[in-house]
Structure 1
Amino acid sequence: MNKFYHEFMKHIESEDKISSLNFVLNKLQNNEIDILTLYNELLAPALNTMTPHENERGFIWKEHIRSSIVRTIIENCYPYVLRERDEKYKKKNNQRVAVVCPTEEYHEIGARMVTDFFTLLGYNATFVGSNTPKEQFIEILESIHFDYIAISVSNSYNLIAARKTVDKIKEHPSATKIIVGGRAIERKESNYKDIGADFYFSTFKDLANLHEEGKE
C-alpha cells in the first residue's frame, strides 16, 4: 500500500475537496509521487473501496461526492501529465486515440485516467466521455482519423451496447483499431473477443506495449 494512502483517505473521507486537491498537488509539485502511482494507488482505490455499511443511508450521495472530488483532482493533474510525458517518458508519436464509454455507461473516471495514460505515452488522446451514442462514431470518423478507439466498459450490462458500438465502427471503411478495457472486461478477459475488439488492456504496461507495437 502506498505510504500516502491513509493520509489521502483522511482528506477525501472528510469530503473536503480543497484539502484533497491541495494534498495531491503538493505531492506532485515536490516530486513525491508520479501520475501513474497517484492514479493506481490512491485515486482508484479511493473509489473502488467504497462499500455501503448495513443500513447506511445516503451511500449514493457520498459516492457521487467522492467521484466529484476525484474528477476534480484528475483535471487539475493535467499540467503534471504533460510534464511527465516530456521529462520522464519522452515518447512522441502522431497516433490519435479517442477514449469513450458506450451508450448507457456512465462510469467514466477510469476512462478519464486512461486518457492521461495515453497522453503520457505520447498519443494525441481525446477524452469523449460517458454514454456516447454509437451513431456519433461514424459521423466523426467521416472527418477525423483515429488510429485507435478505446472503449471503457465498467458495467457488465453494457457489454451488449459495447458490441453494438464496435459493430458500428467496423461498418466504416477505416484502419481504426478498437481497444477495450474496464471492470466488465476484466471479469472475463475473453469478453474483448466476444465484442469484436482488436486489443484488450487492463494496465499501463498493456498500453505501453501497444505503443511499442505501433512503432514496428
Structure 2
Amino acid sequence: MVTTDRDRAADELVARTHAEDASFVRREAPLGAVACSYLDALIERDRRRAVRAIREALDAGAPIKDIYVHVLQPCQYELGRRWQLRQLSVAGEHYCTAVTQMILGQLYPLVVSADRAGRRLVATAVDGNLHEIGARFVADFFEMAGWDTFYLGASTPAEHVIQEVVQRKADVLAVSAALSDQLSSVRQVITAARGDDRCRGVVVLVGGQPFRVVDDLWRQLGADGSAPSAEGAVRAAEQLLAARSA
C-alpha cells in the first residue's frame, strides 16, 4: 500500500498530539468518581474492584449509556494516553483492556434494545489494529439504538470485511483505526467498498484516535463521515442515511 503525503502529514500530527493532553478521567465530570475508582482499580490490577465499581454504579441507577460514555470510554482513552507517555506498559494496557472487554460482555444483555430500527451495521477494527474496543463500543451503541449489528473484532482483512458487508446487507460499515500507521488499511477497506457494486449505498464511517486529532482526515480517505464518540457515530449514520433517502 502506497503512503501518500497526506498520510505522512497525518502520521506526524497524530504522533505529536494526544500524549501531552490532560487526563481524560476527571472527578468533577459526570460519574467522575466512578471513573476514577474504576481507573485506579485497573491500574492496580484489581479486577474484582473494577467490576464492583461498575456494578455499584448500575445498582445506584446509572444508565447503561452513561457507564459507557462517562466511565468506560474515558478510562480507555486515559489508558492509551498513559501508554503513549510510557507510564503504562504494553502488558499493563492489555490487562486493563481485557478487564473492560470482560465487563462489556457482562453488560451486553442490558445493551440490546427491544425496539428494532430495521438497520444493519458491520463494525470492525482494520487489518493491523489489535485495539478493537473502540469498534466494540460503536457496535454496542448501535445495538442500543435498535440496529442489528455484526461486530468483527480486531485486525480484519479488507476482503473479509467487504464479504460481511455484502452478506449481512449492511446499511453502514464502521471502521476503526487506533494508530496512524493503520491509515493505509483504512484506505484499503474504503477503496474496496467503493469499488464493489454490491456495496453501493453503504455508508462508511471511520473512527479512532487519528480521526479525532486530524480535521477532515475521514474525507481525505474517502469515507462518508466520522464521529468523536460511539454515540456520535449513531447520530452521524442516521443523518447520512436520512439525507440519502430524502
Deviation at residue 212 of structure 1 after TM alignment: 5.3
TM-score normalised by L of structure 2: 0.76
Could you tell me which residue of structure 1 aligns to residue 62 of structure 2?
33
Matched to 1:211, the amino acid is E
Could you tell me which residue of structure 2 aligns to residue 71 of structure 1?
101
Match of 1:201 among 222, 227, 246: 227
Distance in 1 separating the partners of 2:47 and 2:238: 35
Could you tell me which residue of structure 2 aligns to residue 9 of structure 1?
39
Match of 1:152 among 171, 176, 180: 176
Cα offsets for 1:66-111 (capped at 9, x unmatched): 11111111111111112xx34xxxx531110010111111111111
Matched, 1:116 2:140: yes
RMSD: 2.4
- Is the Cα–Cα contact under 8 Å of residues 105 and 154 in structure 1 kept in the other structure? yes
- Larger RCO of the pair (alpha carbons < 8 Å, separation 6+): 2
Distance in 2 separating the partners of 1:21 and 1:148: 32
Are residues 127 and 214 of structure 1, via their aligned partners in 2, closer, same or farther at CA, if it must alter by over 3 Å? same
Could you tell me which residue of structure 1 aligns to residue 71 of structure 2?
42
Q: Does the residue aligned with 1:48 lie in a helix, a strand or coil?
A: helix
- Is the Cα–Cα contact under 8 Å of residues 120 and 168 in structure 2 kept in the other structure? no
TM-score normalised by L of structure 1: 0.85
Could you tell me which residue of structure 2 aligns to residue 210 of structure 1?
237
Q: Does the residue aligned with 2:102 lie in a helix, a strand or coil?
A: helix
Give the number of equivalent residue pairs.
208
Deviation at residue 11 of structure 1 after TM alignment: 2.5
Are residues 54 and 34 of structure 1, via their aligned partners in 2, closer, same or farther at CA, if it must alter by over 3 Å? closer
Are residues 68 and 94 of structure 1, via their aligned partners in 2, closer, same or farther at CA, if it must alter by over 3 Å? same
- Is the Cα–Cα contact under 8 Å of residues 203 and 241 in structure 2 kept in the other structure? no
Deviation at residue 209 of structure 1 after TM alignment: 4.8
Cα offsets for 1:157-208 (capped at 9, x unmatched): 1111100111011111132111111111111131101111112122314523
- Is the Cα–Cα contact under 8 Å of residues 170 and 202 in structure 2 kept in the other structure? yes
Runs of 5+ unmatched residues, structure 1: none
Could you tell me which residue of structure 2 aligns to residue 131 of structure 1?
155
- Is the Cα–Cα contact under 8 Å of residues 105 and 153 in structure 1 kept in the other structure? yes
Percent of residue pairs identical:
20
- Is the Cα–Cα contact under 8 Å of residues 47 and 67 in structure 1 kept in the other structure? yes
- Pick which of 190-199 and 43-52 moved more: 43-52
Matched, 1:98 2:122: yes
Matched to 1:41, the amino acid is H
Matched to 2:62, the amino acid is I
Runs of 5+ unmatched residues, structure 2: 1-28
Could you tell me which residue of structure 1 aligns to residue 20 of structure 2?
none
